[in-house]
Amino acid sequence: MKVATVQMVSATGLQANLDRAGELLAQAAAAGAELAVLPEYFCLLGHRDKDKLGIREPFGDGPIQRFLSDAARRLDLWIVGGTLPLTIETGSPQDREQRVTNSSLAFGPDGACVRRYDKIHLFRFDNGKERFDESRVLLRGTEPATFSLPSRDGHTWTVGMSVCYDLRFPELYRGHARAGADLLLVPSAFTWTTGQAHWELLLRARAIENLAYVAAPAQGGLHENGRRTWGHSMVVDPWGEILCQRDEGDGVDVAEITHARLAQVRLQLPALEHRVL
């Protein structure tokens, strides 16, 4: 199965981002991809955290979800929509009014949404120069999520979902491994500082320790709001080898992943069978 990682340098306007995402998804389909994964915040990187509130949608309908559904159907493509802000339907009035979930949605080629994952771990970082605290606007999710993807070659892939900062919490991915995940998705918007230090190391570690493929599309470049993201979208195989990588700038990269390679690595080093704890 061919998997496409879509790297973007998202701007502060929703429609411009959707237009560019549509062009890149079309490139992925033309390259033969069956699955294309957009980066975190593909639809908006605003000037302020609260800009997310202005484009939030109820789960099940809205311009962003219709865009993803229509693109999947038109391109005959599985699409995982990076993340988008969804309204909070339950909880305190303050949460419903002032927060959203940072949600990753998987759409099948028929345009149906097959799985939703709300980002569990919320990023906080302060080195004296850069300060981030996603909990100011985001409400964290509570449940891991996987979905089944039947590929054209007759194999069915179990896909584990995650987002960006989740990457630093290996227990989430070990849970995916226990659930039989063959492919782990990590749509991200890593900062330049943290990405330069840890991005590749963490992605390769998650692939190696769980004997699974990892596909990690990212935001990558200098954004309209002045923020710089690390980029370096990549697909990593279960042995930790990088199959494709893009440094900065938007674009599409496609890698072929196979059940044969997965079986080979798991047979020669059956670490998942050796788990004790």
CA-closest candidate to residue 199, choices 79, 39, 46, 27: 39
State the total domains in the chain: 1
Residues 33 and 256: beta-carbon distance below 8 Å: no
Q: How far apart are CA 33 and CA 18, in angstroms?
A: 19
pLDDT value at 39 more than 90: yes
Structure tokens at 22: 């549509």
CATH of the domain at 41: 3.60.110.10
pLDDT value at 261 more than 90: yes
Tens-digit pLDDT profile for residues 195-215: 999 999 999 999 999 999 999
Identify the H or E element spanning 185: strand 183-185
- Please tell me the predicted confidence (pLDDT) of residue 95: 86
Q: Are strands 35-37 and 2-7 parallel, antiparallel or unpaired?
A: parallel
> Once rounded to an integer, what is the mean pLDDT over residues 50-70?
98
Residues taking part in catalysis: 40, 119, 164
DSSP string, 227-253: -BB---EEEE-TTS-EEEEE-SSSEEE
Dmax (CA) of the chain: 54
Q: How far apart are CA 105 and CA 118, in angstroms?
A: 9
Domain ranges, residue 207: 2-274
Tens-digit pLDDT profile for residues 40-49: 999 999 999 9
What is the sign, positive or negative, of the torsion defined by CA atoms of 12, 15, 20, 26?
positive
pLDDT value at 174 more than 90: yes
Percentage of the chain exceeding pLDDT 90? 96
Residues 206 and 184: beta-carbon distance below 8 Å: yes
Q: How far apart are CA 175 and CA 56, in angstroms?
A: 29
pTM over 0.85: yes
- Please tell me the predicted confidence (pLDDT) of residue 90: 87
Structure tokens at 43: 């639809």
- Grouping H, G, I as helix, E, B as strand and the rest as coil, residue 21 is helix
Confidence of residue 269 (pLDDT cuts 50, 70, 90): very high
Structure tokens at 118: 């709300």
Q: How far apart are CA 103 and CA 140, in angstroms?
A: 10
Confidence of residue 51 (pLDDT cuts 50, 70, 90): very high
- Please tell me the predicted confidence (pLDDT) of residue 47: 95
The counts of H helices and E strands in the chain are: 6, 15
